[in-house]
């Protein structure tokens, strides 16, 4: 199988840097975290979150009490939206700098935590803006400490060095990756996720699947990323249907949370390519589009394009959701149809046309995939040549 084809003479970097507290009741660890912050002479913090989930989940009650117990002053920015913008990051950074915040606590899914990471940079570079970060006008080497309290099981951002923020006027959705924005601590508590809506439960889990499909087939994939990919797919295939049927099932939420975390570590090491590089233009143009839904729509077409080049790896990792694959390059169509069937089984039946995209949008989306800062790096990691023809085909076949 794929082991014999691994480039064992190429040096790979293995990353896992954040201290993560995983388990039912892990939110209680915020008291220890607050104490550690105080011991680091951090007495002022900025909270970055969305408009409601931080309270509805019960997370805020713990965070507020922990900060008050340690006499840590805080200011709250709770205006982060799905697909956060550079303007939101700038406003949060302004509030943090006015307070003199020395750390940032992000509470939420990928959007609030990514925004928190971005703000943490601006607390150290007070003369810069979020546009400077996401238009790559400088390379940050430091950031304020980030604490990530995760409320969804999909992005894996609580344990990686990535962040994504949109530049609305350009319809750009770039990604950054810097060592300085690894969260210092993260909390993954399944009991904070039982109120996730059914559709969001599905979409975030599909995000995790895409992370590992890409990271295990990229040009820098290694045995570690493939190992994590196999376990992620196994866990999601087993526990996602359970969580969809019984949202309050803590065992299902636990393993989906764990799967999301290791999927984040997987792509922190193996990077990403087609589905993320092509989804970012979709939600850049339509900010209300759920990231996971966009990824799910693109995934079958991506599998069809890349399968002949990485058939053995994909046959191995996808076996829990697509039975009977033998790793032959000629199975591309079967693999793509199998993925599509699985997506249908969990409720993702949409195509791009259902979201309002049409044939005449393909040219614009393809252009954005190549013009948006950072996406060229993702495309360069693909296991096949990511030229305009291939990218256009993926968009077109997803309509």
Beta strands in 2-56 (DSSP E): 19-22, 44-49
- Please enumerate in sequence order all residues whose Cβ is within 8 A of that of 98, keeping only pairs 6 or more positions apart, or say none: 75
Domain boundaries, the chain: 26-188, 197-397
Mean pLDDT of 98-118: 98
8 pLDDT exceeds 90?
no
Q: For 277-303, b where at least 16 C-beta lie within 10 A, e where not — what string?
A: bbbbbbbbbeeebbbbbbbbbbbbbbb
Q: For 42-76, b where at least 16 C-beta lie within 10 A, e where not — what string?
A: bbbbbbbbbeebbeebebbebbbebbeebebebeb
pLDDT digits (tens, 9 = 90+) for 38-57: 999 999 999 999 999 999 99
Q: Is 393:347 a contact under the CB 8 Å cutoff? A: no
Q: What is the pTM of this model?
A: 0.94
Q: Is 46:74 a contact under the CB 8 Å cutoff? A: yes
Q: According to the model, what pLDDT value does residue 344 have? A: 98
Residue written as token pair 């509470």: 107
pLDDT digits (tens, 9 = 90+) for 42-95: 999 999 999 999 999 999 999 999 999 999 999 999 999 999 999 999 999 999
Nearest to 279 by CA among 339, 329, 352, 213: 352
Kindly report the backbone phi and psi dihedral angles of residue 149, in degrees, each rounded to the nearest multiple of 5, phi listed first: -110, 105
User: Would you identify the CATH topology of the domain 197-397?
Assistant: Dehydroquinate synthase-like, alpha domain (1.20.1090)
Q: According to the model, what pLDDT value does residue 7 have? A: 75
Nearest to 177 by CA among 186, 164, 168: 164
* CATH 3.40.50.1970 assigned to 26-188: yes
- Please enumerate in sequence order all residues whose Cβ is within 8 A of that of 350, keeping only pairs 6 or more positions apart, or say none: 293, 297
Pairing of strands 175-177, 162-164: antiparallel
**Percent of the chain topping pLDDT 90:** 96
Pairing of strands 73-77, 103-108: unpaired
């Amino acid at each position: 199988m794929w082991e014999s084809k691994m480039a064992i003479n190429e040096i790979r970097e293995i990353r896992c840097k954040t201290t993560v507290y995983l388990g039912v009741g892990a939110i209680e660890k915020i008291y220890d975290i607050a104490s550690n912050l105080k011991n680091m002479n951090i007495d002022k913090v900025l909270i970055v979150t969305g408009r409601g989930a931080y309270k509805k989940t019960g997370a805020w009650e713990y965070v507020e009490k922990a900060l008050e117990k340690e006499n840590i002053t805080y200011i709250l920015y709770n205006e982060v939206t799905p697909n956060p913008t550079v303007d939101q990051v700038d406003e949060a950074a302004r509030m943090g700098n006015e307070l003199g915040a020395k750390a940032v606590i992000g509470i939420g899914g990928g959007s609030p935590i990514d925004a928190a990471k971005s703000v943490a940079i601006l607390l150290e570079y007070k003369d810069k803006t979020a546009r400077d970060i996401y238009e790559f006008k400088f390379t940050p080497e430091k950031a304020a400490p980030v604490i990530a309290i995760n409320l969804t099981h999909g992005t894996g951002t609580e344990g990686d060095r990535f962040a994504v923020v949109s530049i609305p006027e350009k319809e750009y959705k770039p990604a950054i990756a810097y060592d300085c924005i690894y969260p210092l601590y993260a909390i993954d508590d399944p009991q904070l996720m039982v109120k996730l809506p059914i559709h969001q439960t599905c979409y975030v889990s599909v995000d995790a699947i895409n992370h590992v499909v890409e990271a295990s087939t990229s040009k820098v994939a290694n045995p570690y990323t493939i190992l994590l990919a196999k376990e992620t797919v196994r866990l999601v295939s087993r526990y996602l249907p359970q969580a969809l049927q019984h949202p309050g099932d803590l065992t299902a939420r636990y393993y989906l949370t764990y799967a999301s975390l290791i999927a984040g570590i997987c792509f922190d090491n193996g990077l990403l390519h087609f589905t993320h590089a092509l989804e970012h233009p979709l939600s850049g143009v339509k900010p209300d589009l759920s990231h996971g839904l966009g990824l799910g729509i693109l995934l079958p077409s991506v599998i069809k394009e890349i399968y002949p080049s990485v058939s053995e790896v994909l046959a191995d990792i996808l076996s829990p959701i697509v039975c009977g694959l033998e790793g032959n390059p000629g199975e591309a169509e079967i693999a793509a149809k199998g993925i599509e069937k699985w997506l249908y089984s969990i409720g993702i039946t949409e195509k791009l046309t259902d979201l309002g995209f049409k044939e005449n949008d393909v040219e614009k989306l393809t252009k954005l995939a190549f013009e948006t800062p950072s996406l060229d790096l993702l495309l360069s990691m693909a296991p096949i040549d990511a030229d305009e023809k291939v990218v256009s085909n993926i968009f077109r076949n997803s309509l």
